[in-house]
């Protein structure tokens, strides 16, 4: 009987101590894993945030470059007719957009959709303005018509997209 009592007196405290050590070690490892995951997330953010910020900058620049006034300044040369300028403008918009395609990885889907809509609306504006002119119309006639349409229209999709990007950047950064 005394052997059983001695066995219980040695075993029970040892088991209890083992359970406490197991519990504390388990809690420590869980905390360490959480801390390592948090540090990894912070490191990813430290590396990704500059890229995301740069993507927003590039998207604003893209939108700025495809505004009708900027397109007109860059594409109207003396001697060109309206059709030639239309082709240059549409090609310029597409090149700008294609150059920045990879930036969609770093911005929200909503922002990317607004940028695509802005591109399409500017192309549509250029094309519809050209269609309203006679084949002999000059580049200046096209420029005046585009600017007139832009001024009489509501807030353009380009400016809506720019404002959305600015708001999104303020929320993120």
94-115 mean pLDDT: 96
- pLDDT tens digits, residue range 61-77? 999 999 999 999 998 87
Cα–Cα distance measured from residue 173 to residue 169, given in angstroms and rounded to the nearest whole number: 6
Percent of the chain with pLDDT over 90: 76
CA distances to 64, 98, 107 from 160, rounded to whole Å, are 12, 21, 16
Residues forming beta bridges with residue 138, ordered by sequence position = 81
- pLDDT tens digits, residue range 45-56? 788 789 999 999
- Residue 79: per-residue pLDDT: 79
- pLDDT tens digits, residue range 2-26? 888 888 888 988 899 999 999 999 9
């Amino acid at each position: 009987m005394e052997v059983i009592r001695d066995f219980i007196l040695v075993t029970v405290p040892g088991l209890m101590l083992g359970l406490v050590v197991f519990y504390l070690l388990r809690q420590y490892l869980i905390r360490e894993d959480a801390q390592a995951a948090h540090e990894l997330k912070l490191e990813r953010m430290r590396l990704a945030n500059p890229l995301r910020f740069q993507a927003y900058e590039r998207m604003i620049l893209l939108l700025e470059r495809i505004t009708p006034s900027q397109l007109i300044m860059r594409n109207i040369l003396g001697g060109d007719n309206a059709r030639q300028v239309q082709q240059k403008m549409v090609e310029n918009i597409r090149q700008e957009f294609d150059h920045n395609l990879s930036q969609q990885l770093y911005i929200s889907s909503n922002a990317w959709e607004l940028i695509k809509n802005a591109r399409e609306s500017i192309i549509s504006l250029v094309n519809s303005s050209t269609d309203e002119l006679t084949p002999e119309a000059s580049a200046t006639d096209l420029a005046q018509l585009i600017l007139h349409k832009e001024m009489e229209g509501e807030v353009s999709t380009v400016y809506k997209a720019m404002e959305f990007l600015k708001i999104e950047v303020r929320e993120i950064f």
